[in-house]
Chain A
Amino acid sequence: MLKKLMKHDWIALSKKILAINIGLLAATILGIISFQTPLWTSNMPYLDLLAMLILLINIIAFIIAGAGVTIYLAVFFYKNLFTDEGYLMHTLPVKSSQLILSKLFTGFLAQILTIINIIVCVLLLVMGAIVGFDGFSELPEFFKAIGNIFSTIAKAMDMNLALFIIVLIVYAIIAALCSIMVIYGSLCIGQMFSKRRIMWSIVFYFVLYTIQQAVLTIGLAAFAQPQIEKIDAYSYQLSGSVVTSPSVDLTELERLASEGILNMVTQTLAFSALITALAAVGLFFLSKYMMDRKLNLE
């Protein structure tokens, strides 16, 4: 049944998600074309205005793609489960957990596809600007620079590039799922109220978000503190040893200090992922409880 729910949810979602992303792509193409014209280099006032207009269109398209998809997911969840359509959805022979999971997975897919589209559009715009202003010959330099950024970050974390990307992707997936569950959880709480349900949903979105961030911040502070103290101690020895104790192995202290930083970053990332995953699971069960025991259809 989950597959069938996902199929129908995706049919309902995909048209608008596709329209938003095609709109972003069209704005990007417009931007790229503008870079190949004298629009951005000319001093003519009307051309300046046109350039500003194209810039504005691109900014709006990126905002709609970034925030619009998330808002649309919230609207779809609320409308499909807590308004008139809920009378059908909640009388289907399916579990409430399947209703939530279907919307979680299809919403996640919509967000991921949009994020990929946003990244591709940013890259295309930058490449379009490079080609327009400096010519094709500068493109290899751009790709090299991007490669260098990733290698530098990976090197700093003492990991190979592939592992670093995997860690980032796993964390991004958990964070994206949790961000959707915060929205769904707040809508499930908001629907309990007989009046101003949207307003209460927004209030509880900020409440849930703040709780999650507070737990994350406190947890991270507690987690990172011992590592920070270790790094401080090594750094102190490292600075003092130059004058007071020339026999201290400086290379070893440097290695211990950088290892401390590395441990801190790795553990922080893992801890964040754990807290975020726990929050997502907690919100899932909260939403399920609300649907099973506190459903309040209009």
Chain B
Amino acid sequence: MEPLVQIQDLTKNYSGHPGAVSNLTLELSKGKIIGLLGPNGSGKTTLIKMLNGLLVPTSGKILINGKNPGIETKAMVSYLPERTYLQQHLSVGEIIDFFTDFYADFKPDVAYGMLQNLGINPKDKLKTLSKGTKEKVQLILVMSRQADLYILDEPIAGVDPAARDYILRTIINNYNENATILLSTHLISDIENVLDEVIFIKNGSAILHTSVDSIREEQGKSVDTYFREVFAC
């Protein structure tokens, strides 16, 4: 089967900070939940930005469904950045209208259903919501798309454990099963039960790309424990 994402010899150098991502080669299959794991500054967010067309690689190639990052790939990638990216003066309902206008695969009824489950009033302005609720709204928007690739950058950082459970349930219950989820996080123990595969990234290079089962079987350890060993300071 043709991989969903093909990354070949990808390098991104920032002026003064060479090698944010360095000669990275990866293939992501369809229908998998993949953890992108690495310490701070390992190049996870740089890689995610390049996949979303927010950064131009210094060299190398990215193909998503055979296309270079651009308008076509943006229509098939649902991206959750690690920050609040919505206009704060808008109401939740207005933001849903915004997503409906621009993303052909966005399902407003799914979004309204999830908002109702969480007791979030669509008429509330985003600026009146707590940080955790804003993160939930963003996740609802991203997971209400029927995308081919979901890229979630630190979706559970900064929220309480109860909210983490909700977020993970939302991800599992709402993603298109033929789609792939690439999920970046530090909080491995919270998410490792939902992962099919993991990618360990260090100094901008992928040092491991394997299934969660193979780590458990071959190493006899949880992903969290193995991660701590690999990245021990």
Contact = CB atoms under 8 A, between A and B. Distances in A.
Contacts of B83: 84, 87
19 contacts: A1-B102, A4-B101, A11-B94, A12-B87, A12-B89, A80-B87, A84-B81, A84-B85, A85-B85, A90-B52, A90-B53, A90-B54, A93-B74, A93-B102, A94-B71, A94-B102, A292-B56, A295-B54, A297-B54
B98 interface: yes
A90 B50 CA distance: 12
Contacts of A4: 101-102
Contacts of B55: 295
B3 to A, nearest CB: 22
Interface of B: 49, 52-56, 71-72, 74-75, 77, 79, 81, 83-87, 89-90, 94, 98, 101-103
A297 B49 CA distance: 10
The 3 A-B residue pairs whose C-beta atoms are closest, nearest first, are: A93-B75, A87-B85, A87-B81
Contact of A93 (B49, B56, B71, B98): B71
A88 interface: yes
Interface residues of A, number: 24
Nearest to B17: A194
Contacts of B54: 87, 90-91, 295, 297
A85 B86 CA distance: 6
Given A12-B87, A84-B85, A293-B56, 5 more contacts: A8-B101, A84-B84, A86-B85, A91-B52, A92-B102
Interface of A: 1, 4, 7-8, 11-12, 15, 80, 84-88, 90-95, 292-295, 297
Give the most central of B53, B87, B89: most A CB within 10 Å: B87
A296 to B, nearest CB: 8
A95 B71 contact: yes
B86 A93 contact: no
Give the most central of B72, B77, B81, B85: most A CB within 10 Å: B85
A87 B103 CA distance: 15
A91 B89 contact: no
B87 A85 contact: yes
Contacts of B98: 8
A92 B77 CA distance: 10
A93 B103 contact: yes
Nearest to B151: A91
Contacts of A92: 74, 102
Contacts of B90: 12
Nearest to A79: B87
A94 B54 CA distance: 13
A7 B72 CA distance: 22
Contact of A91 (B53, B56, B72, B87): B53
A7 to B, nearest CB: 8
A85 B89 CA distance: 12
A94 to B, nearest CB: 7
Nearest to A92: B102
Nearest to A293: B56
Given A4-B102, A93-B75, A88 B86 contact: yes
Contact of B85 (A8, A88, A94, A293): A88
Contacts of B75: 93
Contacts of A1: 102
B58 to A, nearest CB: 12
A88 B54 CA distance: 10
A12 B85 CA distance: 15
A143 to B, nearest CB: 43
B87 to A, nearest CB: 6
B169 to A, nearest CB: 24
A80 B56 CA distance: 20
Contacts of A7: 101
A295 B12 CA distance: 13
A295 B54 CA distance: 7
Give the most central of A1, A84, A91, A95: most B CB within 10 Å: A91
B228 to A, nearest CB: 30
